[in-house]
Amino acid sequence: MAKAVRSRDQNSKQPRRKIPARRTHAREAWREARRQSDFSLFQPHLKKVVGINRQMADYWGYQESRYDALADEYEPGVRASQLRELFDELRPAIGSVLGPALERSAAIPPDLMQGNFPVAAQQALNREVAEAIVSFRGRAKRSRKWVCGRIGSPGSKLKPMASATSRFSAC
């Protein structure tokens, strides 16, 4: 009940109304900035979106960090301090995997993702991966470990868009 009341209160706050339009403009500016390799095209949009997010966090309130209020929408109860601890613990492992992964990715042939990849086989793989994610999330929740992300949550759907000439297009 308290969550429903907070949700209603959150949705009634003024900054929330500006978000969809700001994000749409920012997304378009990001695409153009990437195309032209010019961050300055995106920077003013980023400042506006960050500013609105800060206003929302201030309206909603938080204990330690503005991020606490913003993260609550996606992972209720998680705090920035918990995430800092998590990433501090993961940082060495990420570094040990990232370097070799980047080296190996440089050796991948550019045409690897082109070829004959039947849509039905891609979709079967998608279902298998989605089921594994849902299963993992369920085990993680039962073990009381914090897991980030919405993939595999109730209501998630596999998209039927696919191409038989592009690997993983059905993902």
Q: Is 91 part of a structural domain of the chain? A: no
Residue 11: what pLDDT? 53
User: Is residue 55 domain-shared with residue 116, that is, in the same domain?
Assistant: no
Residues 75-104 have pLDDT tens digits of: 888 999 999 999 999 999 998 999 999 999
Residue 88: inside a domain: no
Same domain, 13 and 61: yes
Q: Domain containing 167: what range?
A: 110-171
Residue ranges of the chain with pLDDT lower than 70? 1-18, 136-171
What distance in Å separates the CA atoms of residue 73 and residue 119, rounded to the nearest whole number?
Answer: 35
Q: Single out the residue in 45, 71, 97 at which a domain terminates.
A: 71
Establish if 56 belongs to a structural domain: yes
* pLDDT at residue 157, rounded to an integer: 42
Residue 156 counted as domain residue: yes
pLDDT of residue 145: 40
Among 41, 71, 101, residue at a domain's last position: 71
Instruction: Give the integer Cα–Cα distance in Å for 155 and 135.
Output: 15
The pLDDT value recorded for residue 19 is 75
Amino acid 153: pLDDT:
43
52 falls within a domain: yes
**Is the same domain home to 122 and 170?**
yes
Does one domain contain both 13 and 64?
A: yes
Question: How many domains would you assign to the chain?
Answer: 2
- Let me know if residue 90 belongs to a domain: no
Q: Helices 43-60 & 2-11, crossing angle to 10 degrees? A: 140
- Evaluate whether residue 57 is within a structural domain: yes
**pLDDT reported for residue 165:** 58
- Residue 162 resides in a domain: yes
Domain end marker among 71, 98, 118 = 71
Q: Global pTM?
A: 0.49
